[in-house]
């Protein structure tokens, strides 16, 4: 079980949306320091927040973050991208970017921080997936999140010997800029962040951050043709 109080935390994609809510949540629970990243430099006037420019598509950028944050004990892999990319007809460069950011990006971060976490007692790695990991119909985004789910499940096994707790998070639509154009029911980022940190501190391996994720997860044993984007409501 990993508690947040007194810990040093990394949140990728921490400038806005769910990432910003995660930064707020861990600070509220007593995190000692938070490294919060975005693609470009930005400011946060809170003394225990260190802002860092990070490009998860760049191994050098990820390595530089790990070299800076050698005191990290908990890493939230939150940075991601949503591009309109049907698998058959979408721009293949956008499909490639989606997988590079959403799958290889978190993997780069995990590989870079694994020795850091090991040196600091094991700690935790928390990866953000999506309810669309389990639902067909969202093109490259859903496919990338399905791949990220698989990566997380394998990382859980590979990181167990160094006592790093790995958490996979599934969430439906969250009221952020990423899905602002979608006319769907959306959860508040602060509520999702609280459920994620609750799950981490309870020792959960998987967090279903909202009701739609619970519903869809329960349908995984049913016919595969029922697992479509429209089924999420």
Residue 166 belongs to a domain with what CATH number?
3.40.50.720
Distance CA 206, CA 67 (A): 28
Tokens for 30, please give them: 């007593």
Distance CA 135, CA 62 (A): 30
Give a three-class secondary structure readout of 198-213.
HHHHHCCCEEECCHHH
pLDDT recorded at residue 229: 66
Whether residue 3 is contained in a domain is answered as: no
Whether residue 44 is contained in a domain is answered as: yes
Tokens 């959403």 label which residue? 102
pLDDT recorded at residue 178: 57
pLDDT recorded at residue 2: 92
pLDDT recorded at residue 203: 97
* Residue 226 vs residues 129, 207, 231: alpha-carbon distances, Å: 20, 22, 7
Contact of 227 with 143, CB cutoff 8 Å: no
Whether residue 2 is contained in a domain is answered as: no
pLDDT recorded at residue 231: 41
Whether residue 120 is contained in a domain is answered as: yes
pLDDT recorded at residue 233: 42
Whether residue 100 is contained in a domain is answered as: yes
CB within 8 Å of 194: residues ≥ 6 apart? 25
β-partners of residue 14 are none
Tokens 């935790």 label which residue? 124
Tokens for 202, please give them: 């309870």
pLDDT recorded at residue 180: 46
Distance CA 208, CA 214 (A): 6
pLDDT recorded at residue 232: 43
Whether residue 65 is contained in a domain is answered as: yes
Distance CA 7, CA 120 (A): 10
Whether residue 171 is contained in a domain is answered as: yes
Contact of 32 with 7, CB cutoff 8 Å: yes
Distance CA 146, CA 103 (A): 9
* Residue 84 vs residues 19, 153, 175: alpha-carbon distances, Å: 22, 27, 18
Per-residue pLDDT of the chain (233 residues; tens, 9 = 90+): 799 999 999 999 999 999 999 999 999 999 999 999 999 999 999 999 999 999 999 999 999 999 999 999 999 999 999 998 999 999 999 999 999 999 999 999 999 999 999 999 999 999 999 999 999 999 999 999 999 999 999 999 999 999 999 999 999 877 665 544 555 566 899 999 999 999 999 999 999 999 889 999 999 888 777 677 654 44
Whether residue 102 is contained in a domain is answered as: yes
Q: In what order do the strands lie in the sheet containing 74-77?
A: 49-53, 33-38, 8-11, 74-77, 124-128, 165-170, 206-208
The whole domain housing 65 covers: 8-232
């Amino acid at each position: 079980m990993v508690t947040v109080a007194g810990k040093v935390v990394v949140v990728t994609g921490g400038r806005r949306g769910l990432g910003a809510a995660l930064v707020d949540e861990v600070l509220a629970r007593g995190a000692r320091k938070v490294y919060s990243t975005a693609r470009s430099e930005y400011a946060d006037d809170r003394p225990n927040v260190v802002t860092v420019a990070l490009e998860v598509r760049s191994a050098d950028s990820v390595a530089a973050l790990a070299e800076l944050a050698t005191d990290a004990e908990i890493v939230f892999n939150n940075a991601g991208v949503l591009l309109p990319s049907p698998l058959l007809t979408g721009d293949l460069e956008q499909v490639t970017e989606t997988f590079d950011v959403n799958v290889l990006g978190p993997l780069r971060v995990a590989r870079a921080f694994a020795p850091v976490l090991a040196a600091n007692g094991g700690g935790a790695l928390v990866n953000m997936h999506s309810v669309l990991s389990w639902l067909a119909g969202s093109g490259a985004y859903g496919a990338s999140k399905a791949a990220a789910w698989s990566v997380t499940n394998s990382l859980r096994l590979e990181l167990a010997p160094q006592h790093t707790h790995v958490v996979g998070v599934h969430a439906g639509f969250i009221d952020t800029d990423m899905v602002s154009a979608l006319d769907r029911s959306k959860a508040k980022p602060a509520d999702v962040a609280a459920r994620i940190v609750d799950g981490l501190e309870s020792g959960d391996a998987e967090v279903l951050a909202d009701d739609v994720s619970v519903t869809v997860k329960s349908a995984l044993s049913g016919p595969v043709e029922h697992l479509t984007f429209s089924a999420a409501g």
